[in-house]
Amino acid sequence: MRRIVLLLGLFIFLASCGKDPSGVPDVPVVFRASLGNPVYSGLAYPGNHVEVTGYGVAGLILYRSAFSGLVAYDRCSTVNPEKRCVVKVDGTGITATDPCSGAIFSLEDGSPQKEPGKKPLRTYYVSENNGIISVSN
């Protein structure tokens, strides 16, 4: 009986490792771009963003935060992520809206700013080296 409980506990632990709290499905992400490319050159300055398709669940938002540096979010809304609604950056450039639910998210930290959003946007690891941006999970 003790072995069964131990194995069950180990299984639960391993199954929960690496889960993202956003609820957005886990897919491999490996993206690289040069800040020398005109499409991405604006990311050198705080407040600018670029939307990238073909990566993550619903694409990526790369955003240069005034406080956190360069951040990357999946464009898949965390409100009913199984629907894969694509958040769109608003005209202000500091928030993104889920057109399916109306939820609004801050691009500074991905946090929900308007109901029904409760979970932050899924984030990815970002590094910059010699003008090259790398995004991964």
Tell me phi and psi for residue 124, to 5 degrees: -125, 160
Confidence of residue 13 (pLDDT cuts 50, 70, 90): very low
Q: Which amino acid is at 14?
A: L
| pLDDT tens, residue by residue, 31-62 | 999 999 999 999 999 999 999 999 999 999 99
Contact 59, 86 (CB under 8 A): yes
Contact 26, 137 (CB under 8 A): yes
Residue 22 pLDDT: 82
pTM of the model: 0.83
Q: What are the Cα distances from residue 77, in Å, to 39, 52, 91, 134?
A: 24, 15, 18, 22
| pLDDT tens, residue by residue, 66-107 | 988 999 999 999 999 999 999 999 999 999 999 999 999 999
Residue 19 pLDDT: 53
Measured CA to CA, the distance from residue 122 to residue 20 in angstroms comes to 7
Contact 46, 65 (CB under 8 A): yes
